[in-house]
Structure formats: C-alpha cells, structure tokens
A = this chain, B = another copy of it.
Amino acid sequence: MSRNNITVGLFGFGCVGQGLFSVLENSIGFKPEIKKICVKHKEKERNLADKYFTFNKYEILDDPEINVIVELTDDFEAAFEIVKEALERGKAVVTANKKMVSEYFEEILLLQEKYKIPFLYEAACCASIPVIRNFEEYYDNDTLYSFHGIMNGTTNFILTEMRNTGKPFKTALESAQKNGYAESNPTHDIEGYDSKYKLCILLTHAFGLTVKPDKVLNFGIQKINDFDIRFANEKKGKIKLIARAHRLKSGGIAVFVMPQLIFENNELFTVDGVDNGIVTENFFADKNIFIGKGAGAIPTAAAVLSDLSALSYDYKYEYKKKMQLSNSFINNDFFVNVYVRFNERNEAGIHQFEEVYEEYYSTDQNYITGKIRFNKLIRSEWINKESVNVILINDKIY
C-alpha cells in the first residue's frame, strides 16, 4: 500500500467518524480520501452530502477502489462481521472498537495470519496516547514487569467531579453525560468494562497473552459513595479506576480493573478529568509514563489518522511478545491491600483477611483495611453486594 493510493470506506458516522472528517480537513500532511460511509439510520440528519452515504455494507466491501476500511460503529458483533469480510477481501482495517477487538482477539489474530492484511487499532486504547504503538515498537525486546493506568476518560471525569465538587456519584455521572463524556447507558464505562477491554488488548502487546474479557475481573466505580470519598479525602488521596497487569514472582500475571486510592507521590495523581495515563515498568527502560486525552472525538480521530498514515507505510503489528512469551497465564493467587466498606457489622468477613490494618465502625457505615488474598476477595460472598464497596489502597501486588 503506498502513500497516495489509500481510499477509505467508513463504517459509522458518530462522534469519532465526524471527528475524522474534521481531522482530515486540518491534516498538514496525509489526507486519504473517504469515498463512502455506511450508516444504519436512514432518517438521521447529517452535515455531509447524501452521495457519501450508503446503507448497504457491500457497497463498500465490494468496491474494488476502496482498500481500507475504517470501522467506527458501536455494535461489536456487526463490527466483527465487517472486519472479517474486509480482511477476506484483502482490505486493511483500522478500528477504534475496543470491545470488538478484545472479544474477538483470537479470531482476529488468526485472520491476520491467514490473509496477511494489516489490522490496526491504536484508537481503541486511550485515544490520543500512542500506547499500543509504543508497546509494539519500543519495548519489543525489553521485558515488561507491569503496566497499569487510568484507561477510561468517563470514569476519571466522574471521579474528578466527585472529589472537586463534592457531587454524589449520580450527579457527577449526569454532568459527564451533559458534557458528552458518558453514553446514555453508562454501564460499559462505570462498571469498568471499557477499561477491561483496553487492558485485554494491551495484555496481548505487552505480555503476549490473549484472554477473553470475561476471564478478567472488572470492579467498577458505581458503588462509590460519600463515605468512600470522605475516607479518601481524610487520607489525602484520590480514587482512580485503575486497570493493571502485573507479572508475579510466583509465575503468571495478575490482571484486573479496580478503583484505587492513590496519593500525591503516585505518577497518576495529577491525571484528572478525561485524561488517561499509563505507567509501564520495564527491565531495561525502567519506568515510563504516558499521559494524554483519553476521550473526545478529535484525539480519537487523530489516532485513527495516525493508523491510516502507518498503513500507507505498510505498517502492521508484529505481536512480537506472542512469539517471545508463549507460556503467560492469568494468575489470581496473590495478595492485595484493600479498603472494604460495608453496612452491617459482619457483612464483610474480617476473618478472610490475612492481616487487618484498620477497623472502623460507626452508626453510619463501617470499613476494614487490610491484606487479603485476591482469589478469596473475588470469590467472597460479599464482594458483589450492593452495600459493599472495595477499593485498593496501594500499588502492592504480591
């Protein structure tokens, strides 16, 4: 594929799709042509001439002039069908669909191997931060010990609002929705699924390990209440939703999404609002930190353009870690330090802790902080109760 002959067929014309048009208009270099856009709803008003649009995906997939598909829809199953049909027809694909990539990762890897066609998805992880590219290219011969980060802009916006304005969760969520940062159905973001999809994608590039998202715990922020925020403020910390993968001394990798209390000396302490931040710990390069906008039409579309530009230089992911580290696996047998908040005195089983650091009981609510085996925590009968919330109190995974 060369610089001048990229002709794009676009699927989806939502926020990021429209952002891509505005990014292309303002690009100082590369400006590939978008020939056709496939959309679902015939009746919607769109600020682009009718001739661009089609409602039949084969008008794009079967157009021999179109050699790159940009997939920006929100239906992950339909998206995968498009990807499959595109790769079969020898068309390269760029997508921002993290759910699709993570749910169908094994299939997508096989399709890439079979058809030798590039499939890029930088925009699927942390919008403007070039994290996949750096994992692929820069640490390719380094050993990563761990990576973790704030990978979802919506929840980070909500948590920042709650802390800065004292708003309860529900009001902060509404304010995120008003600002266009949260969908009308916010489950995906606030329950940590979105962070988990990104985590699963990065896991493949960082550790060569591909797992189905349902194998990974996502504990979200939807249960955080005033009491939790007060606890965080008293400790002079901030609560952030952190996705992490951490190589364990005992073998395997600890992988999960959970809110965490972080303090001033933490690299992510100042990552507020819709910003995302990733911290990597490497054998050679030591610690690296990448911070940038984790949401928004333009930053995400910029990542799509960057992938299109990379395609024009025949770039494709090599998945080098998959060759280097074939025996990685998820291991849930490790200790964490957590805060557990609960209503009734015996609701959270204190005897399940290896070590208790603090116990607090009041007429309002109660909490325990302590060291607990992760396996025990996630299988406990209380972790999923409406009245119980769990927050990591430090970075220690041991």
Q: Note all chain B residues with C-beta closer than 8 A to A134.
A: 130, 133-134
Q: Mark A83-119, 1 if CB is under 8 A from B, else 0.
A: 0000000000000000000000000000000000000
Choose the segment among A66-74, A305-313, A365-373 that binds chain B (4+ C-beta atoms closer than 8 Å). A305-313
A85 to B325, CA, bound (A): 39
Pick from B29, B286, B290: contact of A288, CB under 8 Å: B290
Is the C-beta of A267 less than 8 angstroms from some C-beta in chain B?
yes
Closest to A26 in B: B283
Q: Note all chain B residues with C-beta closer than 8 A to A303.
A: 285
**Which positions 164-205 of chain A face chain B at CB distance < 8 Å?**
none
Interface size class of A (residues with CB under 8 A): 35 or more
Is the C-beta of A140 less than 8 angstroms from some C-beta in chain B?
yes
CB atoms of B292 and A289 under 8 A apart: yes
CB atoms of A291 and B288 under 8 A apart: yes
- Scoring A137, A141, A287, A306 by chain B CB atoms within 10 A of each residue's CB, the highest score goes to A141
- Scoring A28, A284, A293 by chain B CB atoms within 10 A of each residue's CB, the highest score goes to A284
A137-B133, A270-B270, A324-B28 are known contacts. Are A285 and B128 too (CB-CB below 8 A)?
yes
Q: Note all chain B residues with C-beta closer than 8 A to A306.
A: 137-142
Choose the segment among A38-46, A294-302, A390-398 that binds chain B (4+ C-beta atoms closer than 8 Å). A294-302
A299-B286, A301-B284, A306-B140 are known contacts. Are A267 and B270 too (CB-CB below 8 A)?
yes
CB atoms of B309 and A284 under 8 A apart: no
A323 to B29, CA, bound (A): 9
Q: Note all chain B residues with C-beta closer than 8 A to A139.
A: 306
CB atoms of A293 and B299 under 8 A apart: no
A286-B128, A306-B141 are known contacts. Are A29 and B320 too (CB-CB below 8 A)?
yes
Q: Note all chain B residues with C-beta closer than 8 A to A267.
A: 270, 291
Pick from B27, B286, B318: contact of A292, CB under 8 Å: B286
* Chain A interface (Cβ < 8 Å from any Cβ of B): 23, 26-30, 128-130, 133-134, 137-143, 265, 267, 269-270, 282-293, 296, 298-299, 301-303, 305-306, 309-310, 313, 318, 320, 323-325
- 8 smallest A-B Cβ distances: which pairs? A284-B302, A289-B291, A128-B285, A288-B292, A130-B138, A29-B141, A286-B293, A27-B141
For the complex with contacts A134-B134, A284-B305, 12 further pairs of A-B residues with Cβ separation under 8 Å are A23-B284, A26-B283, A27-B142, A128-B285, A128-B288, A133-B134, A139-B306, A286-B293, A287-B293, A288-B292, A289-B290, A291-B291
16 of the cross-chain contacts (CB-CB < 8 Å) are A26-B143, A26-B284, A27-B141, A28-B143, A128-B288, A140-B306, A141-B309, A142-B302, A142-B305, A267-B270, A284-B298, A284-B302, A285-B293, A286-B292, A288-B290, A289-B292
